[in-house]
Structure 1
């Protein structure tokens, strides 16, 4: 994970930005979980048109993909998951796919 992509504090959405995203939130797709010895993973697929209404400062200016989002930021976009998930990568060839992970024993 390129930590320079992550902000030090979350950039919260304002009411107007949040309203533009609401129509897409029911179309977010969550993969099944998969794991290795250390982490469980899942990917979250945003509707492609949703990328057009996400604020520009949520994107990495060098790659044009979403930067690594803090929990308050991805939850603000309408992504809903149980506790412990961390956005760690954006799938560059398909920028609407966000990769998440959490420790395999999280919550035990």
Structure 2
């Protein structure tokens, strides 16, 4: 049996850490719903240096959707990384508009209705 390469071992560790990411329950105010995501500290240490603030605080900068998904965080659509908490830099704070799910459903319904109208308006070919 072949020995696992260093890269395979690192990938296995990464996957193990990703499975241990903690997602809080959602909480809200009048405008937003919030949640925090707690990264295992070993995973936090594996985050690329360019994701950190250039100062010496050791905190992440605000990450784009693609960036936070790229480090293993999985959430539904609409969440934005809006805040860092310096005392606990491995805790990422997220928010999205309180009625985001409703807005998304409405948008999808409108797109379906538009697609249906377009299909009805398309000229039929004679056979």
Common fold: TM-score over 0.5: yes
Task: Classify the secondary structure of the residue corresponding to 1:43.
Answer: strand
Equivalent residue number for residue 21 of structure 1: 14
Gaps of 5+ in 1: 1-15
Equivalent residue number for residue 99 of structure 1: 93
Equivalent residue number for residue 46 of structure 1: 39
Q: TM-score, normalised by structure 1?
A: 0.79
Higher helix share: 2
Equivalent residue number for residue 111 of structure 2: none
Greater C-alpha radius of gyration: 2
Equivalent residue number for residue 31 of structure 1: 24
* Deviation >6 Å, runs of 4+: none
The reply to whether residue 70 of structure 1 matches residue 47 of structure 2 is: no
Q: Which has the higher contact order (CA 8 A, sep 6+)?
A: 1
Q: TM-score, normalised by structure 2?
A: 0.68
- Report the CA distance between 1:96 and its aligned residue: 0.4
Structure-2 separation of matches of 1:48 and 1:100: 18
- Report the CA distance between 1:71 and its aligned residue: 0.2
What's the Cα RMSD here?
A: 1.9
Gaps of 5+ in 2: 1-7, 103-127
